Amino acid sequence: MQVLNTKNELINLLGQYRKEGKKIGFVPTMGALHSGHLSLVKESKKNSDLTVVSIFVNPTQFNDPEDLKRYPRTLEKDVELLKTVDCDLVFAPSVEEIYPEPDTRKFDFGYLETVMEGAKRPGHFNGVGQVVSRLFDIVKPDKAFFGMKDFQQVAIIKNMVKQLNFPIEIIPCPIIREESGLALSSRNTLLDEEHKKNAPHIYATLKKARNLASQMNVAELKKWITEEINRNLYLETEYVEIVDDTTLNIVQSWEEKGTKVACVAVYAGKIRLIDNIVF
């Protein structure tokens, strides 16, 4: 496994592989890797000849400077983990390498960026668009793999690929959970013992909600989810939304067509966790 830090090294190397007709799979990450990331690498290995993982904490997608400062950075450990799943190449650039000049591009994701994460974290998805499009330009993968924990992000990236005409297949992969049910996230490492112990209540609530959907209307169920999560003194709900899985339109009634997904953002102390479940 090679670890590269510059665009030119990576572009030259991938150019050689491409000439040999190899298909490239790509897993963009912000590091602090866990089994969820490794599951994406395994999926890429199954579906590509060569797998590239990027590790880059992207400053333009943080709307809270404290959150950026707090975000875990564990490059050496990440590299060791990637060796265990036979990753081929790691791209770990500096901020200057990705942004030699400030990126002033503004993306228009329309309705997709006005709800849930988009509403609560202004500018976040523009930053995601900036960094993922830059990484796609550098790596030029055939396929890119993303976890469905970041459900809204997957919709945004699919939209960006269409807007910019990238010939890249976006492959969403299932949420990987701890035994407790807590969705794996790099932010979990920031939870103290008590909050870590209580955070699984989020997914337990979503599972109960799925079973209750036939007994309540949409508004009642959203209220029930909020109150049930908040019943745990270590958790505070930021939002609960039930949306169409493709358009992200907010569902008003169970009679509406399409698959429905319940999405939540919850604070466990100062740490913000997101999760979702398909109904």
Residues acting as catalytic residues:
37
Cβ-based burial of 111 (10 A; exposed 0-12, middle 13-18, buried ≥19): exposed
User: What whole-number distance in Å separates Cα of residue 44 and Cα of residue 223?
Assistant: 39
Q: How far apart are CA 274 and CA 265, in angstroms?
A: 4
DSSP helix/strand/coil, 184:
coil
Backbone angles phi, psi at 23, to 5 degrees: -90, 135
Please report which helix (H) or strand (E) contains residue 212, including its range.
Answer: helix 201-212
The residues, any chain, with a CB within 8 Å of residue 276's CB and separated by 6 or more, are 148, 149, 151, 175, 206, 261, 262, 263, 264
Q: For residue 219, list its beta bridge partners.
A: none
Return the axis-axis angle of helices 201-212 and 218-230, rounded to nearest 10°: 160
Instruction: Calculate the CA 28 to chain-centre distance.
Output: 9
Query: Is residue 29 classed exposed, middle or buried when 0-12, 13-18 and 19+ CB atoms within 10 A define those classes?
Result: buried
Can you read off the two tokens belonging to residue 86? 């036979």
DSSP 203: H
φ and ψ at residue 243, rounded to 5 degrees: -130, 160
Q: Which helix (H) or strand (E) holds 50?
A: strand 50-55
Residue in the block written with tokens 């670890």: 3
